[in-house]
Amino acid sequence: MSIPRPEHPKPQFERSDWINLNGPWTCTFDFGVSGRERGLAESTGFERNIIVPFCPESVLSGIGHTDFIPAMWYHRKIDIPSTWNGKRTLIHFGGVDYECEAFIDGKSAGIHYGGTVSFSFDITGLVKAGASHSLVVAVRDDIRSGNQPAGKQSERFASYGCKYTRTTGIWQTVWLEAAGMKGLSRVRTITDIDAGTVAFIPEYHAVRNGTMLKATILDGGQRVADAAVTCANGMPLTISIPKAKLWSPESPHLYDVIFEILDGKTIVDSVKSYFGMRKVHVEGNEIFLNNKPVYLRFVLDQGFYPDGIWTAPGDDALRRDIELSLAAGFNGARLHQKVFEERFHYWADRLGYLTWGESSSWGIDYCKPDSMRNFLTEWSEIIQRDMNHPSIIAWTPLNETRGNAGTPAHRRSHLEVYDLTRRIDPSRPVNEASGYAHVKTDLWTVHNYTQDGAKLAEQLAPKTDTGVWRNFPEQEVPYSGQPYLVDEFGGIKWIADETKRFSEKSWGYGEAPKTLDEFYARLDGQIDALLSFGHIVGYCYTQLTDVEQEQNGIYNYDRTEKFDMKKIRAAFIREPK
């Protein structure tokens, strides 16, 4: 059997010594959450088969169980190559929803909380080079608790409204990796297009006195520059790039870089990565990319798949989604209520596709301390994992936070998430709560699903007494001149072919058009309304594809076309005059 999702899952931090653990595992559901008491951590195999990295709710997992799974256990054998003797052995998980503990031969290797972000455990002391070991992974997941982010996962038995099939357990690639004992653990990349430099800020698993970090920058396989610095956590290595080529949607140029840890002339660790020279900042009410104003023609992408749920069936599917969006006239996407895997960001970097990084914040109670602790911890890990991607130009931690707006707890949660985001990554603007209710934000975003273009224009027209249109002006701070974006609109329901109808309860926003011509006219009218105002610097149309019963996508759920794509592209390719 071929390995599903065989590509390296972390293209900005890639070592040559790695083993993909995707494929057949065994598993068992633990409906009573009693597995630890029953000794399942020491298991050598369970009664059911499952295909990792697909969640048990998905067809691709081989199971397709869509009822709630409060806990489950996985098992497989792992073989440690004899050539890894003397190296640090790491096990990586691309994503496990929600609480995960791994065991090697019955001994705990580590615990992680957070269902959408990657993590790893150092298992060097638990394994032996040239030996086989039992790997057991325990998972707990309770999206109805109000204490964990869930995104668009349904808290009811069935999907409904804009809530869809759940994802439990392992849903991204699992892999083993051999690193130098004094090797790199991560590198933060900061580009300065004005100075023509790139700075690498390293962190190490351990540091030995006298070792050096060397970075070699390549362009098309040819060396551009290199430099070295003594290994020390947080000690930056800054390199000038002659005649630096910038990354942009029109020219998504990427430089490769090889990091090496040198002990004298001996290479004790080596990691491949890449970066793009680009700058994003806010001036007044405009967003600038590489010191030029940019208008955002975004689409809402929720990243669901009919056969894999949260997991793309293949790497080509990730690339294809971006290509479909570009073909429809968009220049980027708001990645909505889901943390997309690193391979998606890789393709966005390669294809010149702008994105906003978002969390799966729905499901938390942001007025509840324990819930916010869980969220802030996971959100900080998300930023740190993805902040080297040039395609990500803003962060959107929260979405539609109207509940309890105006209370001290609501205000504190928004201030904390904004300030945390800016502390970790001051290089990007923060849209602290998409749509509403804003407390502290670099971008002012609103949601408006008014279907009639003329009425939409009337609503969005700035008023002398009240200023720009806002969702809930009485519940949020005053607008203070930030870039103003309608980052949700449209959502026009259309089911072109009844064989594509997902359910009798399929829906979209407003009353569905009766004909295709009516659809195109409604779409053009809405876009005309947005483009007619100079204070609007971008939009996000709902949405790229149908998702289960929410059938308001530009494409069907299976990614086939619903419309005359020439007409769709002509509508979305327009920019304000």
Q: In CATH, what number is assigned to the domain containing residue 475?
A: 3.20.20.80
135 φ/ψ angles, rounded to the nearest 5 degrees: -105, 125
Reported residue count of the chain is: 577
Same domain, 312 and 267: no
User: Measuring CA to CA, which residue among 544, 551, 560 is closest to residue 492?
Assistant: 551
pLDDT of res. 284: 95
**Domain count across the chain:** 3
Q: What is the CA radius of gyration of the chain?
A: 24
Q: In CATH, what number is assigned to the domain containing residue 255?
A: 2.60.40.10
Let me know if residue 383 belongs to a domain.
yes
Same domain, 108 and 226: no
pLDDT of res. 97: 96
Let me know if residue 177 belongs to a domain.
no
Domain that holds residue 78: 23-172
Joined tokens for residue 376:
């802030």
pLDDT of res. 499: 87
Task: Give the C-alpha separation, 313 to 398, whole Å.
Answer: 28
Give the H/E segment covering residue 228: strand 222-230
Same domain, 136 and 160: yes
Same domain, 260 and 376: no
Same domain, 394 and 263: no
Same domain, 383 and 505: yes
Same domain, 356 and 223: no
H helices within 328-387, ranges in order? 342-351, 369-386
pLDDT of res. 366: 82
Pairing of strands 296-301, 398-399: unpaired
**Starting from the edge strand earliest in sequence, which strands make up the sheet with 119-122, in order?**
18-20, 174-179, 88-93, 119-122
pLDDT of res. 504: 85
Let me know if residue 61 belongs to a domain.
yes
pLDDT of res. 498: 87
Task: Give the C-alpha separation, 403 to 398, whole Å.
Answer: 12
Below-50 pLDDT ranges, the chain: none
Tens digits of per-residue pLDDT, 46-75? 999 999 999 999 999 999 999 999 999 999
Same domain, 164 and 189: no
Angle at which helix 516-531 crosses helix 453-460, to 10 degrees, equals: 20
Let me know if residue 34 belongs to a domain.
yes
Let me know if residue 541 belongs to a domain.
yes
Same domain, 312 and 440: yes
Q: How far is CA 328 from CA 35, 298, 553, in A?
A: 49, 11, 11
Longest dimension (CA), the chain: 75
Domain boundary (172, 198, 227) is at 172
Task: Give the C-alpha separation, 230 to 222, whole Å.
Answer: 25
Joined tokens for residue 18:
């790695």
Let me know if residue 333 belongs to a domain.
yes
Same domain, 191 and 168: no
Same domain, 314 and 359: yes
Q: What is the pTM of this model?
A: 0.97
Same domain, 157 and 216: no
Domain boundary (249, 275, 301) is at 275
316 φ/ψ angles, rounded to the nearest 5 degrees: -65, -25
Domain boundary (172, 202, 221) is at 172
